């Protein structure tokens, strides 16, 4: 059973056994450690060691929570010129659809986590709130 949250989290590797190919991550937001399997790494397994900060998504499985799309949290951000909007077109297209507030917040959250994965939850909420206010004023989202 796979989750569909799409929300990235940040945490530290508690332990990782390179030979067995699994370990655990302690999320910065607290709560239970999250299972980590080598198949969900987007970095070389030799870089995953106790204390290393990673960003990841959490999904719910039959045996509990597990991490997916695991990356190093301190990976360099994409330059802004490389960032495209979600439909693949370059930012600045002349025509676009008005988004619902939920769609807009989801897109903003994903972009923030890709650009700066080390942001904590409070920082993300504050930045999202500011962008939501701007988007409402500009007519980018439904009122």
Q: What is the pTM of this model?
A: 0.51
Looking at every residue in the chain, the average pLDDT score rounds to 79
The domain in which residue 40 lies consists of: 8-72
pLDDT at 78: 44
Residues 68, 122 share a domain: no
d(CA 11, CA 78): 21
Furthest CA-CA distance within the chain: 54
64-104 per-position pLDDT tens digit: 899 999 999 875 544 444 444 444 444 444 555 677 888 88
pLDDT at 54: 94
d(CA 23, CA 33): 10
In this predicted structure, the answer to whether residue 128 has a pLDDT above a threshold of 90 is no
Q: Per the domain annotation, does 87 fall within a domain?
A: no
In this predicted structure, the answer to whether residue 44 has a pLDDT above a threshold of 70 is yes
Residue 93 neighbours by CB distance under 10 Å: 9
Residues 109, 59 share a domain: no
């Amino acid at each position: 059973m796979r989750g569909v949250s799409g929300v990235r989290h940040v945490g530290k590797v508690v332990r990782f056994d390179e030979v067995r190919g699994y370990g655990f991550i302690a999320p910065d937001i607290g709560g239970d450690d999250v299972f980590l399997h080598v198949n969900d790494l987007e970095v070389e397994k030799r870089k995953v060691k106790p204390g290393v900060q990673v960003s990841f998504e959490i999904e719910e499985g039959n045996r509990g929570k597990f991490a997916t799309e695991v990356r190093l949290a301190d990976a360099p951000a994409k330059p802004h010129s490389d960032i495209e909007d979600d439909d693949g077109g370059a930012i600045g297209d002349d025509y676009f659809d008005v988004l619902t507030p939920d769609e807009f917040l989801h897109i903003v959250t994903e972009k923030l986590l890709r650009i700066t994965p080390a942001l904590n939850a409070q920082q993300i909420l504050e930045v999202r709130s500011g962008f939501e206010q701007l988007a409402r004023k500009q007519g980018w989202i439904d009122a």
